[in-house]
């Protein structure tokens, strides 16, 4: 599940016109990494919510900006697995 989420996130970043060539699991979503601003982070969050049926709390946006791509994809995959009861 984690690989699927990661592939989806990278594809969405590319669709949002971000350079994804050098993105790895240690790249932060916010400053000094992908450098998503608040609206772009909200856009990515909505895309992930729509695709995986999740809901991020309003107060999570600051935490998301500090996460790495790896941390974000792991969190999303864990929530999807927890919501469906599937095993990774």
Q: What does each of the 88 residues of the chain score in pLDDT, given as a tens digit?
A: 999 999 999 999 999 999 999 999 999 999 889 999 989 999 999 999 999 999 999 888 889 989 999 999 999 999 998 876 654 4
Beta strands in 3-70 (DSSP E): none
pLDDT at residue number 85: 63
Tokens of 77: 């995959």
Which residues, at least 6 apart from 15, have a Cβ–Cβ distance to it below 8 Å?
Answer: none
Residue 22 has a CB neighbour count (10 Å cut-off) of 8
Closest Cα to residue 47, out of 73, 82, 8, 20? Answer: 8
- State the pTM of this model: 0.89
């Amino acid at each position: 599940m984690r690989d699927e989420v990661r592939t989806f996130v990278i594809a969405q970043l590319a669709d949002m016109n971000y350079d994804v060539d050098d993105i790895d699991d240690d790249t932060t979503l916010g400053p000094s990494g992908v450098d998503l601003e608040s609206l772009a982070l909200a856009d990515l969050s909505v895309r992930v919510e729509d695709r995986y049926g999740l809901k991020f709390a309003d107060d999570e946006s600051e935490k998301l900006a500090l996460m790495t791509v790896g941390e974000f994809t792991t969190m999303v995959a864990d929530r999807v697995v927890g919501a469906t009861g599937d095993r990774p």
